[in-house]
Structure 1
Amino acid sequence: MTEDTSPPPIVHAPLAGVIGMPIAHSRSPRLHAHWLRRYGLPGHYVPLPVMPEHLAEVLRILPRAGFVGANVTIPHKEAVIALADSVSDRAALIGAANTLIFRPDGRIHADNTDGYGFIANLRQSAPDWQPAAGPAAVIGAGGAARAVVASLLDSGVPELRITNRTRLRSDQIKAEFGARLVVYDWAQAGNMLDSAATVVNATSLGMQGKQPLRVPMDALSPDALVTDLVYTPLMTPFLAEAQARGCRIVDGLGMLLHQAAPGFERWFGQRPEVDDETRRIVLE
C-alpha cells in the first residue's frame, strides 16, 4: 500500500478585529485573546487602524483575507451602515453598527450589540434593577446614547428624559423614538434627574483627557441607579458624586465586555462568559 505523502490540508484560523482610528488604545484585542485562550479556540483578533477614506476598500478586502468579522468603533459606526449588504433592525433603528459578520460569499452583515451590552451590564451588576420603577435620564445624544435609548425603551422605562449640548440631536432622537421621550435643554440637565430611577452618562465627558461632566446633581435621588459608559477611569467623577449621594453605581467596563460577547460567538463559535477574571484581564 502506497503511503500518502501529500501535505495535510491547510486549515486557516478565523480572523477578526476592531476597526477604528485611532485604535491602539482599544482593550478589545486583549479581551478576545483572553476568550480564545480560555476556550482553547483557534483564531486571532487584531486592531485595524483604518482612515475614513479607506473604510469601504478595507471592508471589501477583509473577507478575502480570512476575516470572519470585525467590531467597529469611532469614527466608523455610522458609515458602515451604508457600506453593509444587510443591516439588522436594531442597527438600522440606532443608525450605527459596532459588529460586522462577513459571510462566506463576502457579503457584510451589520449589527449593533451596544444596547445588549448596556442592559446586560446593568442586570449583572445590579440584579435588582427595575427599569419600570421610574423615568430614565440619559445625558448625551450620540451613537452610544441612541443604543442606550433603544435598549431602555425596550426594557420598559415609562419615560425617557434626554439632554445634549446640541439640542438638535436630542430632538432628532425624540422624533425617531417617540412619545416616551422628553427633551431637556442642556442648561436644565440637572432638573431631569428629579425622580429619575435610572441615570446614564452616555457622553465622553469625564473620560481621562476629556473635560469633566458638569451637571448639577442636587435633584438626584439616592434610590437611583447611576451608570457611566466611560470606563477610563472606572470611577468617574460623575459616578463618585452619585455614590456619595447614596446611589447604586455601575461602571462602564461591563458594557464593553458584554457587547463583545455576541460577536465572539458568531465568529469563533463559543458564547464567552463575562466574569471577574475577564474584567481583571482586560484591566491589566
Structure 2
Amino acid sequence: MTQVELQMVIKLYLDNKGSQHPRFKYNLSDKQWTENFVKRHKHLLTKRHCQNIKRKRAEKTDEEIEAYFENLKKTFENIQPEFILNYDETNLSDDLESEKYIFARGTKYTEMNINFTKSAISIMFAATAAGILMPLYVVYKSDRIYDQGVIGGPPGIIYNRTKSGWFDGPTFQDWFNKVIIPWASEPKIIIGDNLLSHLNVEVIRACQKYNIKFVFLPPNATNITQPLDVSFFHPLKVAWRKILKEIKLKHPKRNCVEKSKISRNASKTFKRHEVK
C-alpha cells in the first residue's frame, strides 16, 4: 500500500462515519500526519521500498500454485458448494481491436474502416460453485444514470456509475451490500482479486458481522486461478463482439453504441451465452 492509498483508506473511514477531522481538508490526511500514524503503529506497519522485479521473477511457480490450491482445499472443508462464491469484474467494450482478420502478407496498415469509437461498461459477475449466478452489477462511465441506459437489461440487474467507468471503493461496497449480504445467510467464502481500490473498512466489518471469509487469488496468477476469467469471460466476450459487429455493420454512420441500447444489447449477449 502506498502512502496515498493509506490516506484514501483513512478518508473513506471518516467519510463513512460521517466525521470531519478538523485538521484534514476534505478528510484527506496530510503527509506528516500519515507518517506519524505509521510510526504510532510500527508494531503493525512499516515503510519499505518496493523493488521492481522482472516479469519472469513475478510469475508464480508450480509449487506456489499447488500450495494455493492445497490451502483452498482446507478452506473449503465443511462448506457446501452453494456457499462458495467467485467474483470478478470485467469490461465490455465496443472496440473490435481484439478480433483477428486475414490480410495479404506484407500489408502494412491492418485497419478496419468502421465508424465507431471506443466506449465501455464494467460488470461485476459473481457465481457460486453450485452454478448459481448472482444479480449482475453494471457501472457506467458517467456523472449520472440515465433512464434510457437501464431499459431492457436482465432481470435483477443493478446499475451504478463512476467517472472512470470502473469499480472503486464506494461502488464495490454498494455491490457487496446489495448482492453479497442478501446471499450470506450461512458462513460463506468468496474468492476474488485483492484490489485496494475495492476493499475498505466497511466491507471488512460486514464480513465479520455476516461470517464471510475472503480468499484472495495469488498475485500475477489470475489468468490461471480465476475461474470466471478462465471459463466464462472469454466465450462471453466472443458473443459480445458478434453483437457489436451486427450493430456496426447495420448502422455504419453511428459514432458509437448508443447508451440507451447498451443494456439491451448486453442482455442479448447474456441470452446467447446462456447467462441465467
TM-score w.r.t. length of structure 1: 0.23
The structure whose Rg is larger is 2
TM-score w.r.t. length of structure 2: 0.24
Structure with bigger RCO (C-alpha 8 Å, 6+ apart):
2
